[in-house]
Amino acid sequence: MLILTCPHCGVQADETELSPGGEAHLKRFGPESSDDEFLGYLFHRQNPKGPHFERWRHSFGCGKWFLAARDTANNQVFGTYPATLAEPSDRLRERISAARPGWGFEPGAPSPDAEVAP
Amino acid sequence: MSTRLSRGGRLIDRSRPLRFTFDGHHYRGFAGDTLASALLANGQTVVGRSFKYHRPRGLVASGQEEPNGLVNLGAGHRMEPNQRATVTPLTEGLTALSQNRWPNLDLDVGAVNSAFGRFLPAGFYYKTFMWPRAAWKHVYEPFIRRSAGLGRVPEGRDPDLYEHFNVHVDVLIAGGGIAGLAAALAAGRSGQRVLLLEQNGWWGGRAAVDGPEIDGTPAAYWIEQAVKALEALPNVRLRLNTQVSGVYDHGYVLACEQLDGVGPRQRLWRIRAGKIVSAIGAIERPLAFAGNDVPGVMLASAVRDYLANWGVSVGDRVVVVTNNDDAYRTALAVHRAGLLVPVIVDARPRPDGELVRMARDLGIRIEAGRGIAKVKGRRGVTGVTLCALVGEGAGIEDIACDAVAMSGGWTPSVHLWSHAGGALAWDDDRAMFLPNPERPPRQHDGSAMVIPAGGSAGELRTAGVLASGLSAGAQAAGGEAEPHIAARDAEEGPFLPVWVMPQGAKTSLKRKMWLDFQNDVKVSDVELAAREGFQSVEHVKRYTTLGMATDQGKTSNLNGLAVLGQTLHVPIPAVGTTTFRPPYTPLTMGTIAGVAKGPLFQPIRKTAIHQWHERHGATWEPVGLWRRPFAYIRPGEHVENAVNREVLAVRNSVGCWMPRRSARSS
C-alpha cells in the first residue's frame, strides 16, 4: 500500500484514501484532431519501468486531484504536486535525474506510429 | 523410539500435566509442550502420511518450517486442517487427527502408491491422463480430486472471532531472537516508537537453546535482562506469539497474533512502519541421502530443541550427519543428556573446529569424508549404512541407531527482505542467498525499507548476530551505533556444501532422496524435470511441486536449486530463486476477514429517506450496497399488483421519480 503526500492538504495519505487516475500530463486531442492523435490520446500510455507521472485523487480526504512522480520499479516517490501544473517543476525533474541518470521527461502519449504495427 | 527424559525441558512445567488425543489415542503432556513435543514424548514418531506416496512420516523440524507434522486440529466447527504440530501449543483436551491416510495411520491403503513410485514421477498426471478424452471428466478428475490435498475442509461456519488492529510505528522489528532484542535495545534508546514481534512464545530464539556466552553471562540471563530493559522503555512494545506475515509497499506490514482465553482467537496487526528490521533468523537445511524421509530422521537443530526445550529425546542412539560444525552441538547435547551418539558422519575430509575437538575429547566417534548411503527402516529408523562421500554409495559399515540428526548448513530467511522487492546476492563461500544491500526494498522516500539483521543477514555466530542487530536497530532509528556487546561461542571450521549424498549416487538411490518432504519431491524428480526441458526454476517448481504448499519450501528450496544447478551444469546463482511471496506462514481466512463477515461483510447503506420508504411498505431492490424501493405494497397486495398499480398511476395521472445516489458515487 503506497503512501503519497497530498500537496493540497499536506496529509501523508494511505493508498486506501486515494483513487488512481492513470497517467498524468496527457496531451489532449479533441474533435478537430486526426484519428491517430485521438487514438493515441485515448488509449496509448507510456507504462515505463522507472519514473512515471500519474494522477491521484485524495478522494477520502480533501477530494482534490494531484500528480505524483513515482518509480514503477521500486515505488520510490520523487514528489507530488497540484494537478493544475502543466508540467513537473524543474526542481522535481532535477531530483529524478539525480536519482535516475539518463532519465528524460516526455509529456503526452507516445506517438501511435512508434507503438502500433500498421 | 522417542521418549520424555526425567529431567530437562526449559519450557515445560512438569507440575501441570495435560491430556490430549491423537487419532483417538489418549496421551499426556505438560503445560508448555507443543503438540509435536508431546507426541514425541509419547513415542508417537509417525505423525502423518506423505502427500503422494503415502510414506509414513515423522517430525523433521521444531518450528514454523515443519513440512510433515500437519494435523487436523479440533473438532466440529472448530476443526482446522493442515496445522503444524510444531507450533501448536498443547492445551487440555486438545484433539488432533493425522492426515492423508485411510483407514488409519498404521494401515494406509494409499501406501500402494509407494510401491509404484517409479511410475509416478514428476508431472506423471500430465502424461498419463491424456486419453481417452472423455475419461478426464468422468474418471481421472474425480479420482485425482479425491486423492489430492491433505487435510479435510471444516464444515459449517467458523464460530470464532477475529479482530484487526491498526498501528503506526517508527521501527518494526520482526523476530525476538538475540538479533531482534539487540536491535530493539539500540532503536528503543533513541526514543522512537518501536514494536518488537516474536513468532514463538518465548524470547531469545536459538541462543536460548544453544547457550553462548553474552556480555560475560549465560545467554538465558542476558535475554532475560534485555527483555526487562525493553519492558521498562515506554516507547517500546513487545509481543510474543505474533508472526510477521508479509511486508508490502511503503512499510505496510501484516502480522498475526495468536490470542488465548476469552475474546478473539487471532488478531491481525496492520502496521505502517517507517523502517523494518528483519531479524527472523535462519532455517537449517536437510541433507539429501537415501531414506532421509524415514521417521526419526530430523534436522540436527530440532533434535537439540526437543532436548533443551521440552526434555524429549528423539532416540537412544542418535547418528549425526553433517557438513558443518554446528551439528556437533547436537551431538554434544545428546551426549550430555546421557544418550548415545554412535557416530558423527561428517562429509568434510578434515573437520576441525572447537566443537569437533570437544566431541573428539568426549570419545565420540567421528567418520570424516563419509556420507550416509541409506537409512534402514520404514516406520522408524533402525540403522544407517555409511559410504564414502565421493563414491557411488557402496556400503562401508552398518550402524544401528533409532534417530538421525542431519544438518546441511543454514539458509537465511530472506522472506521479509524479498516480499516487497529486495534483491538477493549469492555468497559462494557459505552457499547462501543473502540480502543484496545495493538493491533493498524502498520506502516512499527512496531509502531502504527493510534492514536485515542476525541470521536473516547471514550472521550465524553470536558476536556477529549481536553486532548486526545493534547496527540494524541504530540504523533503523537513525541513531548512533550502540556500544559493542561481547559474546563468546565456539570457533567453527569451514563448511562444505553437499547437495547429494553420496556425490556419485545412482538413480536408484536418488529415487529415495527427498528434497521436499511435504510435496514428495525427490532428487530424481528435479533431474527428470530438467531432462524434459523444464529448466527455469519457476517451471521446475510448477512441474515437480517443489517448494509449494503450506511450508513454501522453507527447508527444501535451496537444496532443490542446487540439484537443478548440478543437473544443468550451471552455478546456483544462475539458476536463480523462485519469488518469495507473503504470507510467511499460512494465515487463517477468518483472520484476514476480521469482523467483516455476516451482516458486516457488506453493510447495507441507507439513504436519508430510507425510513420513509419503510413506513410506506417498500420492498427493496439491491443496488450495490444501497437499497432502492422496488414498489410500495398496500395491505393485502402482491408485489406484482403493486408494480402494476404504480405503473398505471403514472400513465393515468402523474408520477415523480427522484434520482438518488447510486452505489457508484460512494
Q: Which domains does chain B have, with CATH numbers?
A: 3-147 (3.10.20.440), 162-283+415-488 (3.50.50.60), 291-410+492-575 (3.50.50.60), 602-666 (no CATH)
Provide the 10 A C-beta neighbour count for residue B629: 18
Q: Where is pLDDT greater, at B250 or B133?
A: B250
Contact B444 A99 (CB under 8 A): no
B58 Cβ under 8 Å from any chain A Cβ: no
Which range is least confidently modeled, B124-133, B238-247, B638-647?
A: B124-133
Confidence of residue A115 (pLDDT cuts 50, 70, 90): very low
Task: Over range B235-250, report the average pLDDT.
Answer: 96
| Cβ–Cβ < 8 Å for A98, A78 | no
With a cut of 80, say whether residue B110 has pLDDT above it. Answer: no
- Kindly report the nearest CA distance between residue B100 and chain A, in angstroms: 39
With a cut of 90, say whether residue B115 has pLDDT above it. Answer: no
Which range is least confidently modeled, B106-120, B203-217, B420-434, B527-541?
A: B106-120
Q: Which pLDDT does position A113 carry in this prediction?
A: 44
Q: Which pLDDT does position B607 carry in this prediction?
A: 85
Indicate if the alpha-carbon torsion angle B629, B632, B637, B643 is positive or negative.
Answer: negative
The 10s digit of each residue's pLDDT in A48-104 is 999 999 999 999 999 999 999 999 999 999 999 999 998 899 999 999 999 888 887
Q: Which pLDDT does position B660 carry in this prediction?
A: 56
Question: What's the CATH number for A3-99?
Answer: 3.30.2270.10
Q: Which pLDDT does position B606 carry in this prediction?
A: 87
Q: Identify all chain A residues contacting B170, using CB atoms and an 8 Å cutoff.
A: none
The 10s digit of each residue's pLDDT in B20-46 is 999 999 999 999 999 999 999 999 999
| H or E segment and range at residue B96 | strand B94-98
How far apart are the C-alpha atoms of B559 and B500, rounded to whole Å? Answer: 9
Q: Which pLDDT does position B482 carry in this prediction?
A: 66
- Kindly report the nearest CA distance between residue B58 and chain A, in angstroms: 41
Determine if residue B199 is left, alpha or beta; phi over 0 gives left, psi from -120 to 50 gives alpha, anything else beta: alpha
Q: Give the residue from A6, A49, A75 with the most B CB atoms within 10 Å of its CB, the best one to mutate.
A: A75
Write down how long chain A is: 118
| Cβ–Cβ < 8 Å for B247, B142 | no
- Alpha-helix runs per DSSP H in B232-371: 300-310, 327-336, 354-361
Confidence of residue B655 (pLDDT cuts 50, 70, 90): confident
Q: Which pLDDT does position B278 carry in this prediction?
A: 97
Confidence of residue A108 (pLDDT cuts 50, 70, 90): low
| Cβ–Cβ < 8 Å for B264, B600 | no
Contact A76 B441 (CB under 8 A): no
Q: Which pLDDT does position B661 carry in this prediction?
A: 52
Name residue B588's amino acid.
T
Q: Which pLDDT does position A46 carry in this prediction?
A: 87
Contact A14 B272 (CB under 8 A): yes
Q: Identify all chain A residues contacting B444, using CB atoms and an 8 Å cutoff.
A: 2-4, 75-77
How far apart are the C-alpha atoms of B309 and B209, rounded to whole Å? Answer: 7
- Kindly report the nearest CA distance between residue B252 and chain A, in angstroms: 6
Which range is least confidently modeled, A83-87, A114-118, B393-397, B504-508?
A: A114-118
Q: Identify all chain B residues contacting A76, using CB atoms and an 8 Å cutoff.
A: 442, 444-446
How far apart are the C-alpha atoms of B544 and B523, rounded to whole Å? Answer: 10
Which range is least confidently modeled, B66-70, B212-216, B339-343, B626-630?
A: B626-630
- Kindly report the nearest CA distance between residue B427 and chain A, in angstroms: 24
A2 Cβ under 8 Å from any chain B Cβ: yes
CA angle, corner B110, sides to B105 and B113, nearest 5? 130
Between positions 61 and 100 of A, the ones with CB within 8 A of B are 71, 74-78, 99
Task: Over range B540-548, report the average pLDDT.
Answer: 90
Task: Over range B467-471, report the average pLDDT.
Answer: 95
Tell me chain A's radius of gyration from C-alpha atoms. 15
Contact B444 A4 (CB under 8 A): yes
Contact B444 A76 (CB under 8 A): yes
% chain B with pLDDT above 70: 97
How many interchain CB pairs under 8 A, A with B? 33
Q: Which pLDDT does position B658 carry in this prediction?
A: 66
Contact B442 A3 (CB under 8 A): no
Q: Identify all chain A residues contacting B442, using CB atoms and an 8 Å cutoff.
A: 71, 74-76
- Kindly report the nearest CA distance between residue A1 and chain B, in angstroms: 5
Contact A74 B421 (CB under 8 A): yes
Contact A3 B250 (CB under 8 A): yes
Contact B444 A14 (CB under 8 A): no
Contact A75 B272 (CB under 8 A): no
Q: Identify all chain A residues contacting B252, using CB atoms and an 8 Å cutoff.
A: 1
| Cβ–Cβ < 8 Å for B267, B164 | yes
CB-based burial of residue B106 (10 Å sphere; 0-12 exposed, 13-18 middle, 19+ buried)?
Answer: exposed
Question: Which of B249, B421, B446 has the CB atom closest to A2's CB atom?
Answer: B249
Between positions 16 and 45 of A, the ones with CB within 8 A of B are none
Q: What is the mean pLDDT of chain B?
A: 91
B484 Cβ under 8 Å from any chain A Cβ: no
B252 Cβ under 8 Å from any chain A Cβ: yes
How far apart are the C-alpha atoms of B90 and B309, rounded to whole Å? Answer: 14
Q: Which pLDDT does position B148 carry in this prediction?
A: 67
Q: Identify all chain B residues contacting A1, using CB atoms and an 8 Å cutoff.
A: 248-250, 252
Contact A76 B249 (CB under 8 A): no
Confidence of residue B548 (pLDDT cuts 50, 70, 90): confident
- Kindly report the nearest CA distance between residue B441 and chain A, in angstroms: 7
What values do phi and psi take at B315, rounded to 5?
180, 160
Q: Give the residue from A3, A19, A92 with the most B CB atoms within 10 Å of its CB, the best one to mutate.
A: A3
| Cβ–Cβ < 8 Å for B183, B173 | yes
Give B442's DSSP letter.
B
Q: Give the residue from B253, B254, B444 with the most A CB atoms within 10 Å of its CB, the best one to mutate.
A: B444
Task: Over range B322-346, report the average pLDDT.
Answer: 96
Q: Where is pLDDT greater, at A118 or B303?
A: B303
- Kindly report the nearest CA distance between residue A91 and chain B, in angstroms: 16
Contact B442 A75 (CB under 8 A): yes
With a cut of 50, say whether residue A112 has pLDDT above it. Answer: no
Give the SS3 label for residue B506: coil
Confidence of residue B387 (pLDDT cuts 50, 70, 90): very high
Contact B272 A77 (CB under 8 A): no
The 10s digit of each residue's pLDDT in B409-433 is 999 999 999 999 999 999 998 999 9
Confidence of residue B556 (pLDDT cuts 50, 70, 90): very high
Q: Identify all chain A residues contacting B272, using CB atoms and an 8 Å cutoff.
A: 3, 14
Contact A77 B248 (CB under 8 A): no
Model pTM above 0.80: yes
- Kindly report the nearest CA distance between residue A70 and chain B, in angstroms: 9
- Alpha-helix runs per DSSP H in B168-262: 178-188, 207-210, 219-231
What are the Cα distances from residue B34, in Å, to B63, B69, B177, B305?
A: 10, 12, 19, 12
Provide the 10 A C-beta neighbour count for residue B249: 19
Task: Over range B464-490, report the average pLDDT.
Answer: 90
Q: Which pLDDT does position A81 carry in this prediction?
A: 96
B164 Cβ under 8 Å from any chain A Cβ: no
Contact B250 A1 (CB under 8 A): yes
Strands B162-174 vs B266-278: parallel, antiparallel or unpaired: parallel
What values do phi and psi take at A16, rounded to 5?
-65, -15
Determine if residue B294 is left, alpha or beta; phi over 0 gives left, psi from -120 to 50 gives alpha, anything else beta: beta
How far apart are the C-alpha atoms of A56 and A2, rounded to whole Å? Answer: 12
Question: Highest mean pLDDT range out of A29-38, B150-159, B376-385?
Answer: B376-385
Of the CA atoms within 13 Å of residue A60, those in its CB half-sphere come to: 10
